[in-house]
Structure 1
């Protein structure tokens, strides 16, 4: 079966994929102010502080995801699958990051946790969630039309409380700005809802797997692009080999599977992702700046100097007010930092603030002057993914004692704990395991032996190294502090504490 016919209008040259073809409507979307905003949202936050070439942005990435998604659709449609879905999936790929936060995921995590803590979940096992906040914060969302829209669009995600996730903010941008008007020139209202649900992973059909799975266009592009821009070669893998081997397996509810002949290409892709993350994303200095940014945004948000989820949903009440979102980019954040540093914004201090004024001012200067945190100690260990790494230096009671001995403020004893999956998929995802949710089975990597049509998870393939590696994880534990003097104090205090144990 031939792929859906597309009338292309122009090409954009991309440094990763070469020429990327766009339709006239896609060009209109790309030229909109809301899509152009992505030029000012860096893909990797402050990673250019460590890898100077990492200056690429969500604009580049979104075009790349469109390009790869289309290659995936064409490959599948050549084999008779996803007929009539090419335009919808292309648009979902193009728009998948249009609601991203400044500095990408660095700020998003802070806003998500703040919203989650203030929106009461009445039953974590259902979608029955109160639209009123806890008694500690009297915000009432029961009559807020935009929050209710967010609530009703993606009900399967509501128990997680992730209302502020960038994919859900993306839905609001698409439905409540000029983007919606552009889309309606060619897409029906139902198509537009399908687009936002594909992006959020809440669409019930296999279309969502092009954007949401272990083998999706989003992961494929950021791995290739981040590798190229950082200069770390670990992210290079056989993209075309994987795409040409994709199939739909009808008995499995039309889920995407990979021809077993390409299992090695998939294994290589998973290993590339692990090495890129362990060398770049979780680099000690990269993580240090990530911690700083998150603490800064938390401190500014509790003082109402930066936007929270509750501010963002107010933007989308109408097209005019939605334009405020256009300024919510990296420059927005750095402009505030500069104003605080230049005393154009005066910070107050209250007992209830988690991030105190002196700490906040210090952290802001560190970002503006590129002054990283000092690494005190680091532990890295490969272990079984079901095991836990117990280090007493990360226990709260021990930290209290060490900081008291060192005579330093507790907030300068900064801990970081991260478990990195070797493959991002686990041996627990089994076709024969009825306990595992359908969603998790739906998104796992499966291979098909075309000679007998047998389908199995990659982790269950006895010839695949992934079956072994998926049982492991890399445990990273770090302690950061203010400077060399504080590092010396902490190390001395640790020795004293160990003698007293």
Structure 2
């Protein structure tokens, strides 16, 4: 049931009719938010899943809606006010307003050249553009909404952050359903309403009732893992996203991607501007720009980089931690592979699950810390989900996939070098950092 005063509705293929309030309509109609129509949710995943052409705009509307559903549930339990339901919806609406071209792919640029994230940019956009003016006009604090939108609200009721950025967040719930729907796969389907109904507060944290919704909880976590394996870290999806990332990196100054002169300049960036900019590089002679155009040309004709070497590691070690967390180490190893194979290392990529351009990594350290509860005559008993599910206890072990990509014509050379350098069984056995 929609408890706020609605002024209109949007027909969404995932959630059906989504109602919106006057303040939400005012923000949706602003240029900084309309820009999200021109940014694809899954970058160039459409080259593998042709239906995956949905935008950040649609996802943001969906997160607003799911934030409202969770908010209404908390309101009915007496934990929050009606105004706080509206604040949650606004935070959900604006949580991704700072995304750059091709969504998480732009995070690779920010990660390499700055200390910024799209969350930092979201906060600035909320506070420094007309979005903030609309919020203040309607009596809402732009600072509070900017903090809540990225899960960093520092005042009381910190559990509100978890609605937007926790284990049971509106963001996760929407992208699982939405990305699954548009990719045309079944793996992300979850029982949204049963999951929300299972949520309650334990202290200042949102937890789920495993006694009444155990199967729903298992399915929810497994959905994240399956979507990661089948969509987000699919070999061909990653190949295409790696290629657009390299294109953007090699031409980042020419395309105006970085350095950012002003927030206004950032708000002019979208997928279309990058594509037009890359097309304009056709006759460039400078080495990096020429490489950018070559990779872009291959991408347009779906001549994708190929995975030449892959290893699945079931337990973290010092090597893997360094490889995952340090771009400089990945670059060093790419150069070593290139030297051994006699190939330009600009066409060799070591891909790991936690590079910024991977939309979600379910293999995270805190997944096993997901809080669940059970009501008993003696009171509420809380546990970590890994302690009550043998399946999830197994899945919560670290599983990391390391891949090496290169151009199709160099595939055999790189395979031989990788096997010589790293061995056939485990990359971590042969390299010490």
Q: TM-score, normalised by structure 2?
A: 0.85
**1:220 aligned partner:** 173
Residue number in structure 2 paired with 1:81: 79
3-state SS of 1:196 partner = helix
1:184 counterpart SS class: helix
Instruction: Give per-residue Cα distances to partners, 1:135-160, cap 9 Å, x unaligned.
Output: xxxxxxxxxxxxxxxxxxxxxxxxxx
Q: Secondary structure at the match of 2:398?
A: strand
Distance 2:421 2:119 in 1: 46
SS in 2 for 1:237: coil
Q: In the alignment, is residue 278 of structure 1 matched against residue 233 of structure 2?
A: no
Which deviates more, 412-421 or 46-55?
412-421
2:426 corresponds to: none
- 1:192 and 1:110 map into 2 onto residues whose CA distance is 27
Distance 1:95 1:200 in 2: 9
1:380 aligns with 2:318: no
Mapping of residues 316-395 of structure 1, within 5 Å: 322=264, 324-341=265-282, 343=283, 346=284, 348-349=286-287, 356-381=288-313, 383-385=314-316
Q: Tell me which residue corresponds to 1:415.
A: 350
Q: What CA distance in whole angstroms lies between the structure 1 residues aligned with 2:422 and 2:164?
A: 50
1:41 to 33, 39, 42: 39
Structure 2 counterpart SS, 1:408:
coil
Task: Tell me the CA shift for residue 479 of structure 1.
Answer: 2.0
Distance 1:401 1:243, change over 3 A: closer
Q: Distance in 2 between matches of 1:175 and 1:405?
A: 50
Separation of aligned partners in 1, 2:21 and 2:207: 29
Structure 2 unaligned segments of length 5 or more: list them. Answer: 324-328, 355-359, 424-429
User: In structure 2, do the counterparts of structure 1 residues 338 and 69 end up closer, same or farther at CA, with 3 Å as the change threshold?
Assistant: same
Please say if 1:482 is aligned against 2:371.
Answer: no
Q: What secondary structure does 1:454 align onto?
A: strand
Counterparts of 1:247 and 1:115, CA distance in 2: 39
Task: From the superposition, tell whether residues 387 and 498 of structure 1 become closer, same or farther in structure 2 (CA, over 3 Å).
Answer: closer
CA distance in 1, matches of 2:315, 2:130: 49
For the residue of structure 2 that corresponds to 1:8, the secondary structure is coil
Which secondary structure does the structure 2 equivalent of 1:473 belong to? coil
3-state secondary structure, aligned to 1:328: coil
CA contact (8 A) 2:278 2:292 kept: no
Aligned to 1:465, the other structure's residue is in SS state helix
| Residues 16-66 of structure 1: per-residue CA shift (max 9 Å, x gap) | 000101112211111122211111110000000110000000111011111
Question: d(CA) in 1 for partners of 2:25 and 2:258?
Answer: 31
Partner of 1:255: 205
1:174 to 126, 136, 140: 126
Residues 287 and 72 of structure 1, relative CA distance in 2, 3 Å threshold: same
Per the TM alignment, residue 459 of structure 1 is displaced from its structure 2 partner at its CA by 3.1
Q: CA deviation at 1:78?
A: 0.8
For residues 387 and 28 of structure 1, do their structure 2 counterparts lie closer, same or farther at Cα, with a shift above 3 Å needed?
A: same
The 3 A distance-change label for structure 1 pair 379 and 177 is same
Conserved 8 A contact 1:418-1:475: yes
CA displacement at 1:325 relative to structure 2 = 4.2
CA RMSD of aligned residues (A): 3.0
- Deviation, 1:458, is 2.8
Q: Of the candidates 159, 169, 173, which is equivalent to residue 206 of structure 1?
A: 159
**Contact 2:278-2:293 at 8 Å conserved across structures:** no
TM-score, with length taken from structure 1: 0.74
Change in Cα spacing, 1:329 to 1:87, as seen in structure 2 (3 Å) is same
SS of 2:98's partner is: coil
Distance 1:264 1:453 in 2: 23
Deviation at 1:115, TM superposition (A): 0.8
CA distance in 1, matches of 2:267, 2:35: 6
